[in-house]
Structure 1
Amino acid sequence: MLALKVEHVRKIYPSMHSKGQEVLAIEDVSMNVNKNEFCSILGHSGCGKTTLLNLIAGFEVPSAGRIECAGKEVKGPGADRSMVFQDYALFPWLTVFDNIAFGLKIKGISSSEINQIVMRFAALVGLSQFTTHYPHQLSGGMRQRVSIARALVVDPTVLLMDEPFAALDAQNRALMQAEMIRILNEESKTVVLVTHSIEEAINLSDVIVVMTRRPGKVKEIIRVPEPRKMVEDTPAYLAIRRQIRDLIAGEHDDSEVR
């Protein structure tokens, strides 16, 4: 069953100046994501990865083409899609509990049910002991766990993640990747991740979409042979990493993609 369908999507941004040229951000992008698949979108800065994610989220409207989530056309933001941002986007005046509960309160769920759901997801991300803390009292990795719990708690059809671990140091980034694998083993979910990191894409994904430079197009779609079970530095891992690096190198400059 398809969770997400992107068909021949194009996005043009108007010029910021009266005599300037329009910017063609992405062109003829098509991709499918099956239910409970983890899909990473990989490419250079400026290739349109975040533009594509914003179109899927409904924050922006395609100039051409069509996007469907669970068979329904995306025409704007909706509860069937949740976003985890790079900068956490938490409400600093709310506790961990109230940040996680925010979407549930909007949906009008009863207080007793909210309490049960929030505590379950706080436990899922390892923050049961921190529900009364405020964001400024947490580390970067813990804040991102709150963001993930807040996005998952409303049970979206598709979880969207825009470079969620990019602001973390290498050690915490690796820990958060391991946490995502653990969370997804407990809570099956369709995920679309934008990343610059080849290793992150391999470690987390069922499928990797490699994009060209702007205007961004789908250069190749790669299926990971053993999703979330590949061991780094083994021949199979090195082979898929080399394949992706070769695709990126074909875009003339691999300095921005690790």
Structure 2
Amino acid sequence: NKDFFDFEKSLLQRAFNPTTSYEGNIKGAINLYMLFYIKHRTKVAACFRTLYRIYDLLDNAELKEKIKKNYLKIIRAQLTDSELFFIRYNGMTYYGDNFTKYINKYNVIKHLPAFDLLEFKDWWKDLTQIERTGINIVFHNSTRLLRRILLKRDSDIVFRIPGENLKYGFEIKTKSNYEVEITLQIDNSQKNDIMEYVGFEKFSNKRIQALLDCYLKETFLYSNFGKFNKKQDLEFYSNPIITNGNICIINSGVRNTQGQALKIK
């Protein structure tokens, strides 16, 4: 039942030993998941197969596309955060590869809290649940905004979080759909009053930049199982951190070196 996945997710999160490499953490997370899968194969394999068959049945059904999507959204709405967690890792293995086409097509793991993934443990391990939830909200809102922005083809768009006298100023900038930059401006003369950014208070500027780098890798590469953007065409970069008095500007970005539009699920 659903409690099973909550319990096993907690065990994996406690057992995982993070490294300083996001790619290394991906590999370690998959290895740890495979130990879980082997131990509980008779339980989880049937669950994943059933879910796959439901999506396969509806995808091939002679229904209007709108009705089909509504049914599939209802199914997605029944999945807990912990179930989404395991669906994501299963999709990164041989056993879940067939399901990834439906996960991507119907955005099955849309509501997965990305910051709860094992790959981010080096950041969330020392945070309270409220602090972790806040960063998850920042990530979720950023991904939702990027999805909307990137649909506007060949556009240069800048979005800034509204408000005055804020300690944290968040900005997303796109260049003709093939490059995205995320900037976090920190005004250390201000007190932070926004819950979503409380967790950032625990990190150094370099740690925040590393977190933004990994968020972009997760968003544009690993969350879609490498099916939307070719890994060899993506260049992830970090610009030097700028400090001017009380103001600190942290910037990270990703670009498609072939000038192709970035895709996001």
* TM-score where L is the length of structure 1: 0.32
Give TM-score scaled by structure 2 length. 0.31
